[in-house]
Structure 1
Amino acid sequence: MSYLAHLRVWHGDADGGELRDHVVEAAEGEVVLDLVHRLQATECPDLAVRWNCKAGKCGSCSAEINGKPKLMCMTRMSTFATDEVITVTPMRTFPVIKDLVCDVSFNYVKAREVPAFEPPADLEPGEYRMQQVDVQRSQEFRKCIECFLCQDVCHVIRDHEDNKEAFSGPRFLMRVAELEMHPLDARGETRADRPDEAREEHGLGLCNITRCCTDVCPEHIQITDNALIPLKERAADRYYDPLLRLFRRKRD
């Protein structure tokens, strides 16, 4: 069964733009990205939209649908009433390039600021040994497809542009947590450890664990409960626990 859907799509660039109303045919089983493609094919050939896999695995088609950060390819039309107006806008946290395409280079800058995995000095790559139970927790974070919806919804950077320099956002704090939980990561033996870096370099203290990042994650990663809160606990232990502070002072 097909019907005519009412889309309200943002058109514009860095200098400004507007929401325009479109009526687009929708068929059973389709997703919002299907209608955006049909709009390109029939009415707006110059509409800019980023996408790749259309299977919820590349993270390219991030946008805001009725004000909520979502993947267009994973938002089914059946979740809306047939007479509902569906508003599609670019991610608000990042600068618009054109229409629904944003400049997400902020995230790649932050990614480069996270120090890479550091293996123990006395082990060669072929000598790494880990048990599944040791990596069970951090393995969840590897499901991230870097859609940056968690970055988009995080109000610390969404509503406060001046925080972007000091705050890396939930996606990269989760990366720090993943490395901190890695059984072979030796960061901290000869230099600042990862919880300290998260606090001092990545703005961990600015996160107030509202769980909005978890709510929008298309991979259902428990970003707040399994990454951010444990990382905060470890940072607090290192900074405030008197025995740990005494041990570190003696070690240094």
Structure 2
Amino acid sequence: MTTSASAKYVADFKVWRGNQEGGGLEDYRVAVNEGEVVLDIIHRLQATQVPDLAVRWNCKAGKCGSCSAEINGRPRLLCMTRMSTFTPSETITVTPLRAFPVVRDLVTDVSFNYAKAREVPAFVPPEGVEPGAYRMQQMDVERSQEFRKCIECFLCQDTCHVVRDHEENKESFAGPRFLMRIAELDMHPLDAAHEAGLDRKRTAQEEHGLGLCNITKCCTEVCPENIRITDNALIPLKERAADRKYDPLVWLGNRIRRRPAGRTE
């Protein structure tokens, strides 16, 4: 390894190399310059030592979500993790997202997330209201706007232990990113899903695994957009789903609405 005269120091890195058949950590020493992020170092490794190192990235500005990986065991964006957060003597370990299958090196197959996205029914427009005529109060706009900041880096999906530690849950559990999407639609004042026969609270519970979430807030902790996934989406959705299913007044109201005309009990 050669270092430039402007290099601030040389760091020790352990980077996972391999594919779906297996692999392991390999040691590297690489120059670090002032102001750099971990993605800069990975690019320097590609340029100077391991040109076949696979890594997914795009914007390098924390807005595309492409460069998700695990740094010292914590899900992070490579482009938003500054080298200044580590000491020069610290060994930095970079591994692929653990919850998803490895394609090669730091690149994982995140198609699970796109499959789950397709399972969430889209916004249902209110009948008789043209798109240009939609009106919402500002507080409703702000409430859903928080969730629209999601860049789909899938760090929350990766850190959620329901998916991370239990492969068998993937079929029945959408994960925090898509439960948050359901919560956003369910609280949207113009979503006419119920009128169309779609009960988002019921489907969240019965089809998307809302009950498996035990609100540990690990998804919130790794979100690079600082979305309060647990407090503002998952917990309120759980409360509404529980009210819908167990509140005796709601149960009675549903029974009355379902009773056939002319029938008495």
Tell me if structure 2 keeps the 8 A contact 1:135–1:183: no
Matches within 5 A, 1:37-52: 37-52=43-58
Of 122, 126, 150, the residue aligned with 2:132 is 126
Matches within 5 A, 1:131-146: 131-146=137-152
1:123 Cα offset (Å): 1.4
- Percent identity, aligned pairs only, is 73
Tell me if structure 2 keeps the 8 A contact 1:94–1:102: yes
1:9 Cα offset (Å): 0.1
1:94 Cα offset (Å): 0.1
Deviations 1:187-227 (A, max 9, x none): 11231311111001100000000000000000000000000
Of 180, 191, 195, the residue aligned with 1:185 is 191
Matches within 5 A, 1:1-252: 2-252=8-258
> Any idea what SS the aligned residue of 2:250 has?
helix
Structure 2: segments with no counterpart, 5+ residues:
1-6, 259-265
- Give TM-score scaled by structure 2 length: 0.93
The structure that has the greater radius of gyration is 2
RMSD of aligned residue pairs (Cα, Å): 0.9
Deviations 1:43-65 (A, max 9, x none): 10000000000010000000000
Tell me if structure 2 keeps the 8 A contact 1:57–1:145: yes
- When structure 1 is superposed on structure 2, of 175-184 and 125-134 the one drifting more is 125-134
- The residue identity in structure 2 corresponding to 1:144 is C
Number of paired residues? 252
Deviations 1:88-143 (A, max 9, x none): 00000000000000000000000000000001112122221112122221210000
1:39 Cα offset (Å): 0.0
> Separation in 2 of the partners of 1:194 and 1:170?
15
- The residue identity in structure 2 corresponding to 1:182 is H
